[in-house]
Structure 1
Amino acid sequence: MAMRHHDLTDPGAGTSPALPASPGQEGAPTGTALAEYLRAQATEFLRALRLHRETGGTAAASGTQGSADAARALRRSARRISGSLHTYRPLLDPDWSEEIRPELAWLSGTLALEHAYQARLERLLGALQRLSGAAVVPVQAGAPGTGAPVPPRAADADRAGGGGTATRAHPGAGEAPGGATAPIRPAATTERGNLTVGAAKAGALLDRQLTLARTRAHSTVLQALGSSRFHAVADKVALLASEVPLTSAAATTELRPHAAAAEERLTDAVAALPLVTAGHPYNAEALIHGLSPDPSPHPQDAPWHQVRLLLRLHRYAGEVLAGGDGTVDVRLLQAGQALDRHRDASEAAAAAAQAARTPRIAPATAYALGVLHADQRHEVEAARYAFQQCWRREAVGTA
């Protein structure tokens, strides 16, 4: 099962050292170190942009690994520049910083969408196969190198509640536009029960919905990279590679207090988490909200997502202080991995719940999607438990 690999959990993507002690010691990092870091990240951004243009930017359509790597590098550099501007903003020209930071956030978010939908689909189909014991993993026509089976045909058996006539959902809600369906895969034996039968149909439904979303995201990326808005961002980053707009006092201003403030914000956010509840591998109470018909995001997830973002900012702040010495804080790495799994599972659960709201699906399909949703919510709780164990070990080690 393919998982999303974010720079927060990539040991080779950057450094994450513990914050150095003794703020007053000679040689403490100042705004000069920040300027060097920003220039290095701007150079990486431009290098990734050149690679993306050379490969045509068609990773989803042609399976080009180089284009996917270039897009990932673009996101990584954009996030690091934006995060550093946020943490060390008193040392930078305020007008310039406030102008470019939202644009970098827009760019990294736009570039992440296509990969996110693909990874979510692979996660959900893998979970369905694991839960049902049946091969339910479909593949989009023309996708190279996957070796996955052809998607099953769900629309034939998804019927209206009381009638016996097959009913097709509106295109975009549960079926590809134009009523097109994929060839059917040999069905599993009926002895496997409702979950096996529903899993095949649920897999096809998820495949159609998330593939459509991924295709739209790919078009959005192409439009964004050709827009004047993106070219304006690229021009600003190109200038950043040669000249960083620091304030007049930045060269003598120490960076550690600002990095310590980022760490303190992270510590406060973690302290507000229900780590006592997360001390149990599974929090059954969390399923109560997840199974409600309310389509809004799960109310328990937002604080954890915020901690993940603050952990990323803390790591980026440490990278600036380290000056690219290659040091990796394993504890922060493990915490980031747990929060990445938490985010992936929570978004996958939301996608399963959204698919279950598709009109006129068969009861077996809805049942399989409900089981899938509960499975992903359990994965959410397991990730919270893993983070809780990692963070408490870190706290003990620090003490």
Structure 2
Amino acid sequence: MAQQHLEPTDPLARPVTEEALAGYLRAQATEFLRALRQHRETGAGGGAPARARSGVGDSGSPESVRAARALRRSARRISGSLHTYRPLLEADWSEGMRPELAWLSGTLALEHACSARLERLLAALHRLSGSGALPAQPGLPGGAPPAPERGNLTVGAAKAGALLDRQLTLARTRAHSTALQALGSSRFHAVADKVALLASEVPLTPAAAGTDLRALAAAAEERLTDAVAALPLVTAGSPYNAEALVHGLSPDPAPHPQDAPWHQVRLLLRLHRYAREVLEGQDAPVDVRLLAAGQALNRHRDASEAAAAAAQAARTPRIAPATAYALGVLHADQRHEVEAARFAFQQSWQKQTVAAP
């Protein structure tokens, strides 16, 4: 049973003042500027103009990819902290800054998301068709006669994989171009200028002086707890969710209605984590239970978006029946992955609940 009172050695036993927030925001702004400099220096050709050197995502060098991820990481943390602790920050500045950081983070994430989605779907096709690589023709490795279901899947797996490759590679190329344009735009330079100012001066309100940050962080945690309480965790405990599968196979291309609350919980969990980082500092130990919950929700998001991509590919006009069959099986597989991720989240969250005071 967890203790009801904070120990004297607990760093949060004492009030956490606005200086912690200012220090955190300055540190994240400095990290943003460092990542931006590395990104420009590690692009395609050291002597090229900045816009030409702004290789982003998976199409750039490994160093450029890491720098782009660091940019997204710091942008998300600054934006999340502005949201949680907005009563302590100048309203006009904060409300103008948050959507711009969200735009930048989302734009830079698109290319990597397309690459990861394609990799996930092709790996699932390989697994489902029983081969180490997408087969060029029907049959299992070694010439073994396939079962009817596996044989039908194997027939269409190669064409399904090729279709997904074309569609997601095109999406990735467009995302890469969009990110290049974004990093060369006046909009991005305005964001970078504001972050540069933030690295030296945090626009706190006069009322922020002496304010205890713990109350605002607790409010962020409460929003997360309420959102989790509204989730259908009983359904998440079931190994098969027929309603989710049927909806995903329908011709309606709209996002899956069951997924939205889970995506919202993922966002609120991230805000909760960032709020704790402000309170506890960068050297605070990792909460393995929150980490496990976040990983489960990331898997949920990835599987949900992969299932949607498979369903979208299956709606391509004039594809062969075997290809459509393979994509349907792939979609069902990813929806099962969604359910597995929900169950994993349920298990990790229940452990948190038991461990809470």
TM-score by length of 1: 0.80
Q: CA deviation at 1:326?
A: 3.1
CA distance 1:303–1:21, change in 2 (3 Å): farther
Distance 1:358 1:376 in 2: 19
Cross-structure match for 1:88: 85
Equivalent residue for 2:27? 40
The structural deviation recorded for 1:281 is 2.9
Matched, 1:30 2:27: no
Note the residue ranges of structure 2 that are not aligned, 5 or more in a row.
1-5, 44-53
Q: Relative to 1, partners in 2 of residues 1:215 and 1:342: Cα closer, same or farther, differing over 3 Å?
A: same
Q: How many residues align?
A: 334
Secondary structure at 2:206's aligned position in 1? coil
CA contact (8 A) 1:134 1:188 kept: no
How many angstroms apart in 1 are the aligned matches of 2:240 and 2:27?
43
CA distance in 2, matches of 1:277, 1:344: 19
- Structure 2: how far apart are the matches of 1:78 and 1:58? 18
Deviations 1:130-175 (A, max 9, x none): 00013445xxxxxxxxxxxxxxxxxxxxxxxxxxxxxxxxxxxxxx
User: Which sits farther off after the overlay, 116-125 or 323-332?
Assistant: 323-332
Match of 1:130 among 119, 127, 140: 127
Q: CA deviation at 1:45?
A: 0.2
* Matched letter for residue 39 of structure 1: R
**How far 1:187 sits from its partner (Å)?**
2.8
Q: What fraction of aligned residue pairs are identical, expressed as a percent?
A: 80
Q: Which amino acid aligns with 1:81?
A: I
Paired amino acid for 2:137? A
Following superposition, the deviation at residue 323 of structure 1 comes to 1.9
- For residue 61 of structure 2, the aligned residue among 60, 64, 67 is 64
Report the Cα distance in structure 2 between the residues aligned to 1:76 and 1:40, rounded to whole angstroms.
12
Structure 2 counterpart of 1:77, one-letter code: S
Matched residue SS, 1:187: coil
* Post-superposition CA distance 1:212-234 (Å, at most 9, x none): 00000000000000000000000
- The answer as to whether partners of 1:85 and 1:101 remain within 8 angstroms in 2 is yes
Q: Which residue of 2 aligns with 1:330?
A: 288
Shift of 1:282: 2.8
After TM superposition, the structure 1 stretch with the greater mean CA deviation from structure 2, 127-136 or 205-214, is 127-136
Letter in 2 for 1:51: Q
Q: Which residue of 1 aligns with 2:240?
A: 282
Residue 78 (1) aligns with residue 75 (2) = yes
Which residue of structure 2 lines up, in the alignment, with residue 211 of structure 1?
A: 169
TM superposition shift of 1:286:
1.6
**Distance in structure 2 (CA, Å) of the matches to 1:314 and 1:26:** 18
Match of 1:160 in 2: none
Asked if the contact 1:136–1:200 (Cα under 8 Å) also holds between the matched residues in 2, the reply is no
Is residue 2:299 matched to residue 1:341?
Answer: yes
Alignment partner of 1:324: what SS? coil
CA distance in 2, matches of 1:213, 1:285: 29
Change (3 A) 1:21 1:377: farther
Aligned match of 2:101: 104
Q: Give runs of aligned pairs for residues 1-399 of structure 1, distance below 5 A.
A: 27-56=14-43, 57-58=54-55, 63-136=60-133, 186-189=136-139, 191-192=145-146, 193-399=151-357
In 2, Cα distance between equivalents of 1:377 and 1:223: 34
- Aligned partners of 1:266 and 1:333: how far apart in 2? 15
Instruction: Determine if contact 1:136/1:199 at 8 Å carries over to the other structure.
Output: no
Structure 1 pair 363/95, CA: closer, same or farther in 2 (3 Å)?
same
CA distance, structure 1, for counterparts of residue 219 and residue 7 of structure 2: 14
The amino acid that maps onto 1:132 is S
- Distance in 2 of aligned mates of 1:269 and 1:21: 29
Q: Would you identify which runs of 4 or more consecutive aligned residues in structure 1 move more than 6 Å? A: 20-23
Residue 11 of structure 1 is matched in structure 2 by none
Distance 1:256 1:60 in 2: 36
Per-residue CA deviation, residues 275-309 of structure 1 (Å, 9 max, x unaligned), is 11111233233212111110000010000000000
Q: Deviations over 1:324-366 (max 9, x none)?
A: 2231111100000000000000000000000000000000000
| Bigger helix share | 2
Say which SS state the counterpart of residue 305 (structure 1) adopts.
Answer: helix
Specify the code of the residue in structure 2 equivalent to 1:82: S
Name the CA shift for 1:395/1:27 in 2 (closer, same or farther; >3 Å): closer
SS of the residue 1:312 aligns to:
helix
Q: Give the partner amino acid of 1:83.
A: G
CA distance in 2, matches of 1:63, 1:38: 28
- Give the counterpart letter for 2:131 in structure 1: A
Residue 339 of structure 1 aligns to a residue whose secondary structure is: helix
In 1, Cα distance between the equivalents of 2:275 and 2:158? 46
Unaligned runs of 5+ in 1: 1-19, 138-184
Task: Indicate conservation of the 8 Å contact 1:136/1:203, yes or no.
Answer: no
The answer to whether the 8 Å contact 2:58/2:65 transfers is: no
> Are the equivalent residues in 1 in contact too, given 2:58–2:111 (CA < 8 A)?
no
Report deviation, 1:61.
7.2
